[in-house]
Structure 1
Amino acid sequence: MRKFLILLPVLLFACESSEERTQRFFNLGNKALSDGFYEQAIEFYNQSLKETPDYAPALNNRGVARIESDHPYEAILDYNQAIQIDPDYLDALFNRAYAYEEIGQFKNALKDVETIHTLTNDSAFVYFYEGLVQTKMKMYDEALASFQTADKLNPLNPETLINIATIYYFKEKYDTAIHIVNNALELSADNANGFSLLSLIELEKGNYQSALVEVNRAMDVVPGEPYFLNNRGYIFLQMDSLDAAIEDINRSIVLNPKNGWAYRNKGIYKMRQGEYQEAINLFERAIKTREFIDELYSYLGDAYMKLGDQSKACNSWREGVAQNESLSQQKLDQNCD
């Protein structure tokens, strides 16, 4: 009797059509993906695609599993195939844009966003995401226009307002940024991102105690958030509280090893300790994350200068100028031909 019970599912599966097997493996892949078993999900999607090689949803979802398992380039290949099969496949276009963003290919991400614009009616989310990518490219005027369009399409969204305020922060229009953040906080009183941005503004204005108060408000809302920890560590650096700074920065890295800002700030800490080569290693690690990180090449040039390598320092500052870093321009003018 046991043999029949064991063989029965096999016999049932043997009676399935190829289309049914395609869907069964696809559903199993979706379950594994939802549960966080990414390698298992990929294997199920492989089986689904073995039955139906041009099944675009399996290609798209396999791409999701691959990017979740830190294989963005392989994910892009899957999205490419899915889009080739169905050029209007919005999920695959969005996912490919995210993957391009993940590997620092922001121009390609924007190209996908442009395609998405042609396939959807005015969508606040699409303009919002476009603004995020443009911000990473330091296209501040374009990002501001995208966020403002998103705000018109979906008014009173606090996250949109905070991103608009962030652009004004980057443009050094701090009073305007503060006004907009306060509007966002009226809509969402415990918005951690709003407190975090106020902290950064106070830091730029040299009000370190106020900056510390605001970042702690953010951390009261989201305890242990790695970016907030890193920001607090940077404030402590400015206050010359080096032990407190490195404790927060190291905790941030443990919680999010991909946080390029934390590697930059740890590099600044190493500079303060006179460990210039270790600082260079950390700055270069930050560069490899392909994140948008302000004044990174400025600090890298400083470290090379401390080691007496003016040529590499000047090259770093030139790259910083290409990245629209204002401090790099000043240092290039002062130290390089």
Structure 2
Amino acid sequence: MKILLLRIIVYFTKYILLFLILNLLIINHFKAQNDSILYENSVELYGEKKYKKALIEINKAIGINDKKAIYVSFKGQILFKINKDTDEFFTYLTKATEIEPNSPLPLIERAYYYEKINEYQNAILDYNDALKKENVDSTLISVYVNRGGVLLKLQKPDLAYEDLSKAYKIDSNNMGVLNNLAMCLEDLGKRKESNKLFLKMITIDSLFFPAWMNLGFQASLKGDYVHALAYLNKANELDPNQPYTLNNRGFVKLNIDDIEGALIDINKSLELDPNNSYAYRNKALLYLKKNDIKLVCENLHLAKKYGFTIYFGEEVDKLIKQHCIK
């Protein structure tokens, strides 16, 4: 009887253990599904620009699983949208790099946001570290294209060309690679080569608005305002809320004496991106045509404040000396 009882206890204990294990697996599976669904909800709300609601959903996901770098990094992105003037968003971008120290992706993400707040040297350091990790072709392209873009902003087109050429060797039909390489060639004074790449982009994808926008910008630099306007109209048709297209078209309209049309475009550009120093420069030139020196100087000082001299040279400084210093 004792032996029988013992066997029954062992028998039921085994099934209790199996039940508990199965239950644990079900709970973990449910949690995994649940946190991924919450993350997807957060991404969807972010896309709809409902950032505070997106934050609530990502916090729930992190509450279930705080070891996923993608969740933590995404919280940083949301916080940037809510208030980029605090450093809180960087806390989460940095935490993501600590959760997955062997992955290049959190570093690439943080570098992108360093670039957004004009901390270009820190961005380059993160891109450099990302290259030391195990990379597939897609992440290599991302690093070379993005680091090349930062180097262009730092007015180092020779170094940018090295990065972008490496990316081009990996994928010569990648639109991001072609676009940034074409812009780099433009900065190097190789306008014909640059133009060929923009035309290649349109051949690959005629709906890729940056190619039309940059062709318009190139034409405007040559004083070919008829073609410039046609290209920029096409770019605007494809993406009517792109601030750089609007700003460039405003500059073209200014040069064909469509002053009011130019002002509408430039103002809309600044509504969409109030930190664009080039738009303030164009607005200053517009008011110079109207001989409104007060507004000329106001916009020149804003252009300087938002880094025109750093990115584009001394034109604004010279205009301030000429028109605003008595």
Which band: TM-score by shorter chain?
Answer: 0.7 to 0.9
Over 3 Å counting, the alpha-carbon distance change for 1:282 and 1:159 in structure 2 is same
Paired with 2:173 and 2:214, the residues of 1 have a C-alpha distance of: 18
Paired with 1:188 and 1:26, the residues of 2 have a C-alpha distance of: 33
Q: How many pairs were matched up?
A: 294
Provide the residue aligned with 1:217 in structure 2: 234
Q: Match of 2:44, as an amino acid? A: S
Check if 1:243 corresponds to 2:260: yes
Q: 2:121 aligns with which of 107, 127, 131?
A: 107
Check if 1:77 corresponds to 2:91: yes
Provide the residue aligned with 1:271 in structure 2: 288
Paired with 2:212 and 2:68, the residues of 1 have a C-alpha distance of: 45
Paired with 1:300 and 1:270, the residues of 2 have a C-alpha distance of: 17
- Residues 169-318 of structure 1: matches in 2 within 5 Å? 169-289=186-306, 295=312, 297-309=314-326
Under a length normalisation based on structure 2, what TM-score does the superposition of the two structures give? 0.76
Under a length normalisation based on structure 1, what TM-score does the superposition of the two structures give? 0.74
- Which has the larger displacement, 92-101 or 187-196? 187-196
Paired with 2:56 and 2:196, the residues of 1 have a C-alpha distance of: 51
Q: 1:148 aligns with which of 165, 170, 176?
A: 165
Check if 1:90 corresponds to 2:104: yes
Over 3 Å counting, the alpha-carbon distance change for 1:238 and 1:113 in structure 2 is same
Over 3 Å counting, the alpha-carbon distance change for 1:300 and 1:279 in structure 2 is farther
Paired with 2:237 and 2:223, the residues of 1 have a C-alpha distance of: 23
Displacement, 1:199?
Answer: 1.7
Secondary structure of the 2:257 match is coil
Over 3 Å counting, the alpha-carbon distance change for 1:290 and 1:32 in structure 2 is farther
Q: Match of 1:100, as an amino acid? A: Y
Displacement, 1:63?
Answer: 0.6
Displacement, 1:173?
Answer: 2.3
Q: Does the 8 A contact of 1:264 with 1:296 survive in 2?
A: no
Displacement, 1:97?
Answer: 0.7
Structure 1, unaligned runs of 5 or more: 1-16, 310-337
Check if 1:63 corresponds to 2:83: no
Over 3 Å counting, the alpha-carbon distance change for 1:63 and 1:23 in structure 2 is farther
- Which has the larger displacement, 252-261 or 121-130? 252-261
Over 3 Å counting, the alpha-carbon distance change for 1:293 and 1:264 in structure 2 is farther
Secondary structure of the 2:291 match is coil
Structure 2, unaligned runs of 5 or more: 1-26
Paired with 1:159 and 1:56, the residues of 2 have a C-alpha distance of: 25
Over 3 Å counting, the alpha-carbon distance change for 1:167 and 1:174 in structure 2 is same
Deviations 1:10-60 (A, max 9, x none): xxxxxxx99x98996786465234313322443555567678877755432
Q: Match of 1:229, as an amino acid? A: L
Q: Match of 2:224, as an amino acid? A: N
Paired with 1:23 and 1:291, the residues of 2 have a C-alpha distance of: 48
- Which has the larger displacement, 287-296 or 181-190? 287-296
RMSD: 3.3
Displacement, 1:205?
Answer: 1.5
- Which has the larger displacement, 220-229 or 284-293? 284-293
Displacement, 1:105?
Answer: 0.5
Paired with 1:208 and 1:108, the residues of 2 have a C-alpha distance of: 39
Displacement, 1:260?
Answer: 3.5
Secondary structure of the 1:35 match is helix
Q: Does the 8 A contact of 1:232 with 1:245 survive in 2?
A: yes
Over 3 Å counting, the alpha-carbon distance change for 1:151 and 1:53 in structure 2 is closer
Paired with 1:129 and 1:107, the residues of 2 have a C-alpha distance of: 13
Provide the residue aligned with 2:19 in structure 1: none
Paired with 1:273 and 1:204, the residues of 2 have a C-alpha distance of: 22
Over 3 Å counting, the alpha-carbon distance change for 1:216 and 1:51 in structure 2 is closer
Paired with 1:290 and 1:79, the residues of 2 have a C-alpha distance of: 25
Q: Does the 8 A contact of 2:104 with 2:131 survive in 1?
A: no
Equivalent pairs: percent with the same residue? Answer: 24
Q: Match of 2:98, as an amino acid? A: Q
